[in-house]
Amino acid sequence: MPYVEPGMSVGLFGGSFNPPHRGHELVAEIALRRLGLDQLWWMVTPGNPLKSHNELASLDERVALSRRMAPGPKVKVTAFEAASNLHYTAQTLAYVKARNPGINFVWIMGADNLKQFHKWQDWRGIAQTFPIAVIDRPGSTLAYLSSKMAKTFSNARIDEDDAARLPFLKAPAWTFIHGPRSSLSSSAIRSERATNKTTTS
């Protein structure tokens, strides 16, 4: 895990990043700015348990691409989950919390994940471990109104104008942050590459 000092505010931004793209970069930039973070950990996971791994690039390749994409020195690209045999977000957050006392963590997620968040292992536990910042993504602006997570924790939502307070709040606490959006998606990029490969072969 990256080096931190007590009192820091740190965003945790996890994903398979297969591949990373401008949309991920925007989420990181918005989270850093709106939450006033000292660091953002760009956590490249072994793979999403809810998705097929047939098209999953190697961890080393995804880490290298993420490092090229990461916007600035406050973003720390790491793959500690694989080394620590962690496969679920709930496990990762418990692991991070136990080893980093005195750090103000926030879980960062794109709004496109809200729709299936209730299918994640121990999703309620995730929401009760660290505050959550949900960053707007194309086609997902209204997801927080209908998702099971948003309804379950509706009383814990704070206004996005108060987003800078989020790292210092006790979980459950969350906010939805609007901002610039990119229509890029990893699945669309993979599909386009596969099409081009078929066309040229």
From first to last of its 201 residues, the chain has per-residue pLDDT tens of: 999 999 999 999 999 999 999 889 999 999 999 999 999 999 999 876 656 557 789 999 999 999 999 889 999 999 999 989 998 999 999 999 999 999 999 999 988 888 889 999 999 999 999 999 999 876 656 656 688 999 999 999 999 999 999 999 999 999 999 875 455 454 545 445 445 554 555
What is the reported pLDDT for 9? Answer: 98
What is the reported pLDDT for 46? Answer: 86
What is the reported pLDDT for 23? Answer: 87
Q: What are the tens digits of pLDDT across the range 31-40?
A: 999 999 999 9
For residue 152, CA distances in Å to 13, 124, 137, 144 come to 22, 9, 21, 11
DSSP 142: T
Q: What are the tens digits of pLDDT across the range 40-72?
A: 999 999 876 656 557 789 999 999 999 999 889
What is the reported pLDDT for 195? Answer: 52
What is the reported pLDDT for 142? Answer: 63
Contacts of residues 35-38 at CB distance under 8 Å and 24 or more positions apart, as own/partner, are 35/9, 35/11, 35/106, 35/133, 35/163, 35/164, 35/166, 35/167, 36/9, 36/164, 36/167, 37/9, 37/10, 37/11, 37/74, 37/106, 37/167, 38/4, 38/8, 38/9, 38/10, 38/74
Task: Give pTM, 2 decimals.
Answer: 0.86
Backbone angles phi, psi at 86, to 5 degrees: -105, 130
